[in-house]
Structure 1
Amino acid sequence: MSLIDQTTVGLLSMALDATALRQRAIAQNIANANTPGYQRIGVSFESHLGALQGALKHGATPSLASLRDLRPVLETVGAPGAPVALDMEVAALSDNTLQQQALLKLLNKHMALLSTAVNEGKR
């Protein structure tokens, strides 16, 4: 086991990647709201976490290698040509921004703990 647990940082990093990709997808959906035949896009990430949660409940310890399959991916969502609901996209944008801020706070706290451990609590 390494001194610094890379799994936590890896998972937080992937979750932040998902929020960045989701931000891009929402922006594209808003930009193409009036484009005939446009099909909304979204990001699949959280749905892949179910398998990881199940493994953790059974005592498995995740590794960086096991997290590689959890990479966020763009995907088309909804029916082709279905209208983009701007109010829903704006709400999703707001939700995504809050999630990104929370993840950044978690990463910051994790790094602060590591810094404290490295500095043995000295400032």
Structure 2
Amino acid sequence: MLSIIDSNASALLSLALDAAGMRQQAIAHNIANVNTPGHQRVSVSFESRMAALRSPDGQVASPSLADLSNFRPAFEYAQIGSADNAVALDQEMAQLSETTLHHQALLKALNKHFSLIGMAISEGKR
């Protein structure tokens, strides 16, 4: 029964929620320091790590729960003086809006996943 709740779907959704939360923190940090000289722009790497799960033919591999520990989101700092280090307030605000919508969609998906499990459990009692 525990394997249903600790499924790959819930683990991937949980990791994606972690990444979205971290991304919101990084964007807030960038916005707060937009006028700070020498500020290193912060971003979050997650999607690029998850792309490693795709096979060459484009199919998504089904990793084990233990394998997912390698795909934790991480903060990345841009090099000082690089083009990636410039913080544009309008781009950060757009990314914040996008991240907020993404976070809400992930929460709805996780809620649906657990409601389906709950329905299976309650219907199984009949």
Q: TM-score range, shorter-chain basis?
A: 0.7 to 0.9
TM value normalised by structure 2: 0.85
Deviation at 1:11, TM superposition (A): 0.7
Q: For 1:83 and 1:6, how far apart are their aligned partners in 2?
A: 40
Q: Indicate yes or no: 2:108 matched with 1:105.
A: yes
| Residues 83/4 of structure 1: CA separation in 2 closer, same or farther (3 Å cut) | closer
Within 5 A, what are the aligned runs for 1:21-100?
21-54=22-55, 57=59, 60-77=61-78, 79-81=79-81, 82-100=85-103
Q: For 1:109 and 1:3, how far apart are their aligned partners in 2?
A: 14
1:32-55 deviation per Cα after TM superposition (whole angstroms, max 9, x unaligned): 000001110100000011111228
1:37-93 deviation per Cα after TM superposition (whole angstroms, max 9, x unaligned): 1110100000011111228827x432111111110000013x514431000000000
Q: Report the 3-state secondary structure (helix = DSSP H, G, I; strand = E; otherwise coil) of the residue aligned with 1:57.
A: coil
| Residues 87/121 of structure 1: CA separation in 2 closer, same or farther (3 Å cut) | farther
Unaligned runs of 5+ in 2: none
Instruction: Give 2:95's aligned amino acid.
Output: A
The residue number in structure 2 matching 1:20 is: 21
Task: Give the RMSD, CA atoms, in angstroms.
Answer: 2.2
Q: What percent identity do the matched residue pairs reach?
A: 56
